[in-house]
Amino acid sequence: MAQVTIDFFELLKKGGNLLQYRLNNSIKKNLNQFSLIDFTGSKTNPLVNRMNHIQKFTEQMTNYMNLPTKTDIANTTQLIIQSEEKIDQLDDQLYDVSIMLNEIKQILLTQNSGITESYSNSLPVRIAEQEEIIRTLQEELNQAKELIFQQKKHTLSTNTASDQAM
């Protein structure tokens, strides 16, 4: 006669999952009601008003205490982010210029007729110098961005620390 082994934990899992499924269906059905939607709608405005009062009160209090608010810190951080964006734009422009220089160099290497020999020889050197300057500039921009990034991190961590202390 074949022996059937019953795995208690498997049964528990299957039974539990079935119960979970039924519970969830019941909860979802009960949540999907107009009465609950109306209740939520009616509570939204008073909640917004209360939040408004608290925020105004905090703004006034921190003003008297000569402390920066969360919004002040956020606005400062926004300025830092804007600097980051400017650096990125500069970096993009430098990249475009370096691509353009490279293309000019290629054209000069293939079509150098009509240009005096000394000029034709000196141009690739000059372009190489410009490319080197661009590379240095890009590195400096990256360093500046890293510094800004660290500054932003510092500003935000100071803000978080003061939040926790309060």
Partner 1 sequence: MATNRITSFIKALNIDPDVGLSKRYAIWKKNKATLWYYPSKNKKYKEPIYLIYSIVNKPYILDLGPSMSLIEAFSLAGYDTYLIDFGIPGFEDRNMSMDDYITKYIHQGFKRAIRHSGEEEFTVIGFCLGGTLASIFAAFDNNHIKNLILAVSPIDFASFPDYDKWLDALKNQEIQIDEIIDKAGIVPPEAIKYGTRLIVAPVAYGHYLALLHNATKDKYIEKWSRMNKWTLDHIPVTGAAFKQIMNDWIRDNKIVEGGLTVYDELIDFNNIKSNLLVFSTMHDPLVPSSLCEPIMDLVSSEDKQFVLFEGGHAGLVAKNHMPEPMEIWLKEHSTEL
Write down the least CB distance from residue 51 to partner 1, Å.
Answer: 4
Binding of partner 1 at residue 141 (CB under 8 A)? no
Give the whole-angstrom CA distance, residue 32 versus residue 23: 14
Chain Cα centroid distance, residue 73: 17
Query: For partner 1, which residue of 1, 2, 3, 44 counts as binding (CB under 8 A)?
Result: 44
Q: Pick from 62, 68, 83, 84: which binds partner 1 (CB under 8 A)?
A: 84
Among 59, 61, 92, 161, binds partner 1 (CB under 8 A): 92
Pick from 12, 133, 147, 161: which binds partner 1 (CB under 8 A)? 12
Shortest Cβ 95–partner 1 spacing (Å): 7
Residue 127 φ then ψ, to 5°? -65, -40
Q: Is 124 in contact with 108 (CB distance < 8 Å)? A: yes
Based on CB atoms, which residue is closest to partner 1, 126 or 153?
153
Tokens 């020999």, located at residue: 117
| Among 67, 81, 133, 147, contact with partner 1 (rule: CB under 8 A) | 81
CA dist., res. 131 & res. 102, Å (int): 8
Backbone conformation region of residue 5, classed left if phi is above 0, alpha if psi is from -120 to 50, else beta: beta
Size of the site for partner 1 (CB under 8 A): 43
